[in-house]
Amino acid sequence: MSKNKPLNASAKEHTHKEIMIILGGLMTGMLLAALDQTIVSTALKSIVEEFDGLNHYTWVVTAYLLTSTASTPLYGKISDIYGRRVVFQFAIVTFLLGSFLAGASQNMTQLIATRALQGLGAGGLMALTFVIIGDIVPPRERGKYQGYFGAVWGLSSVAGPLLGGFFSDHHTILGVTGWRWIFYINLPIGIASLIITSAVLHIPKVRRDHTIDYLGAIMMVVSVCLILLSVSIYGPQNGWGDSRTITYLVIGVLLAVLFLFWEGKAKEPILPLHLFKNHTFSITSLLGGVIGAGMFGAIVMLPLYFQVVKGYSATSAGLKLIPLMLGIVSTSIVSGKMISKHGHYKRYPIMGTAIMTVGILLMTRLQIDTPYWQISIYAILVGAGLGLSMQTIVIALQNAVDFKDMGVATSSNTFFRSLGSVFGTAIFGSILTNRVAHYMASGFADLGKSNPAALANFDTTKLAGLTNNTAVLKTFPPIIKNTALEAFVNSFHVVFYAAAPVTALGLVLAFMLRETPLRTSADYAAAREDAAGESLG
């Protein structure tokens, strides 16, 4: 009879108050992972100056991105076997250990290694947050809670650069070097999340006699890491025709093909291929990747525009992103509540991808002298589109898969969105760098013909370093500076023109989504009973 207790307990319905307390623990955990995707960017200058590691600075960001993206699908499967709370808390502890060691790093090698450890924990925080909500809240009620997670993403997109700028602007805080606080600030937040989840996150562990597909897991992780390295590091840095870029990409793709072949034969696959037969799973996976690419195309490029073209500091650029955050937060919460009230969800990703596409297209109108109120409107539109889309596709997915596949299906969706964001950031970044060089050459060639005197006493070799360090723009004469800024503005236009078809593809996918009635509390309780019964049987 002892085996029946977890089964009965799993069918227990949580009250609104209990869910809100659990939500607090989950949101703090997710905030940690979301913040650390953005907080480091504005502090990198201070870090590389102290460690004299400019040639390795991109690895500080990429190491985190690699391990968090590659580990995301593993957490869903492992939590299906060992239980949600223990695996979620393992992710928190891993993240906190990585944060503490990153803050104590004495050189770039240590910092890169500890950032990878941080990312390993972050993969679980991002994936399992949605999985746990899926466990305790039926799809019909989930919208009003899941909308808050969109608010966390919106907050982190502004708070990350702000906090990173604040800490790195201070030489020391309480006797500790300022930039180290971007990692130490995680410790009290993470400990709070650990305490809350220990106290209230009582999702009974269902005994499952399953095994982990270790070979599949290794092939998947290595494949993802090699592909991401070639796309996000070696391609942009060394060129897409570089031998190392091509080698890593080819080996990564071959391993991915072998992984898919193996998963089709494995008894307990790490990514069950039968999920792709589920129309909603396939569409939401593609949609997640598209939204991830479009989202980071906008979120990365907009602060860059503020800092380079408008000349704002990193902290000021973060503050200027508040309209984007307001768009994400407001529509996430409102759409979530409307889904819970009316039970319809398909309309929101359709509206979201359409609005986001319009917002990105409007950003092609940005000029050197564009007033901030105009930029704010464009940013609100992009944010509103993201808020309507991101959480809604998770609700659609969780409503469409069997309860026993909840963990792996949800974490896979997060994985595809992370992949999209990495590819989007790398590709749009490459486009920007390529176009800046092109427009800089043509712009100054035209200036040399129309106004030869402007370039007569100017050392044009200074222009070559602009793509790596835009701070020298301030030292240029007005006409030279204006020509360089025009090159950047034109390059941003090309990036936004490239991002718009990606989000438009999202609109097509959103129309293809099939809307099915959201399961109610009674339906969901029955599904949990069935899943638990199968596990114990």
Q: Which pLDDT belongs to residue 362? A: 93
Interval 20-57: pLDDT, tens: 888 887 888 888 877 877 777 667 666 766 766 555 55
Q: Check whether 158 has a pLDDT greater than 60.
A: yes
In the chain, the percentage of residues whose pLDDT exceeds 70 is 81
SS3 (DSSP) at 279: helix
Rg (C-alpha) for the chain, rounded Å, is 24
Provide the pLDDT for residue 4.
38
**Cα distance between residue 535 and residue 512, in whole Å:** 34
Strands 172-173 and 176-177, by their bridges, are: antiparallel
Q: What does the pLDDT read at residue 389? A: 86
Q: Which residues pair with 172 in a beta bridge?
A: 177
Q: In this predicted model, which residue has the larger pLDDT, 277 or 156?
A: 277
pLDDT value of residue 205 = 57
- Please state which of the ranges 94-108, 298-312, 486-500 shows the lowest mean pLDDT: 298-312
- The answer, yes or no, to whether residue 460 has pLDDT greater than 80, is no
Look at 30-39, 143-152, 330-339 and tell me which has the smallest mean pLDDT.
143-152
Residue 177: enclosing H or E segment and its boundaries? Answer: strand 176-177
HSE toward the beta carbon, residue 349, CA cutoff 13 A = 32
Handedness of CA 49, 51, 56, 60 (dihedral sign): negative
Q: Which band of pLDDT confidence, cut at 50, 70 and 90, is reported for residue 345?
A: confident
CA angle 21–416–203, rounded 5-degree value:
30
Cβ–Cβ < 8 Å for 325, 123? no
Q: Is the model more confident about 72 or about 487?
A: 487
Residue that is written with structure tokens 């494949």 in the block:
223
> Coil, strand or helix: which one is 104?
coil
Residue 406 CB contacts under 8 Å (≥ 6 apart), including other chains: 80, 131, 134, 135, 398
When the pLDDT of each residue in the chain is averaged and rounded to a whole number, the result is 78
Scanning 170-278, the segments in alpha helix (DSSP H) are 181-184, 186-200, 214-229, 235-238, 243-265
Model pLDDT, residue 8:
35
Say what the pTM is. Answer: 0.76
223 token code pair: 């494949």
pLDDT tens, 257-277?
998 888 877 777 777 788 888
- Residue 537 pLDDT greater than 50, yes or no: no
Above 80 in pLDDT, residue 77? no
Q: What φ, ψ does residue 172 adopt, rounded to 5°?
A: -140, 150
Q: What is the average pLDDT across 395-415?
A: 79
Please determine, for residue 118, whether its predicted confidence score (pLDDT) is greater than 60. Answer: yes
Q: How many whole angstroms separate alpha carbon 358 and alpha carbon 370?
A: 18
Q: What is the DSSP letter of 137?
A: S
Structure tokens at 473: 């723009």
Q: Which residues pair with 173 in a beta bridge?
A: 176
Q: Are 32 and 152 in contact (CB under 8 A)?
A: no
Strand partners, 222: none
* 396 or 356: which leads in pLDDT: 356
Distance CA(222)–CA(194), nearest Å, equals 30
Task: Give DSSP secondary structure letters for 307-340.
Answer: HHTS---HHHHHHTTHHHHHHHHHHHHHHHHHHH
> Could you identify the residue written with the tokens 């409102």?
334
**3-class SS at 120?**
helix
Predicted local confidence at residue 147, as pLDDT: 67
**Which has more pLDDT, 384 or 395?**
384
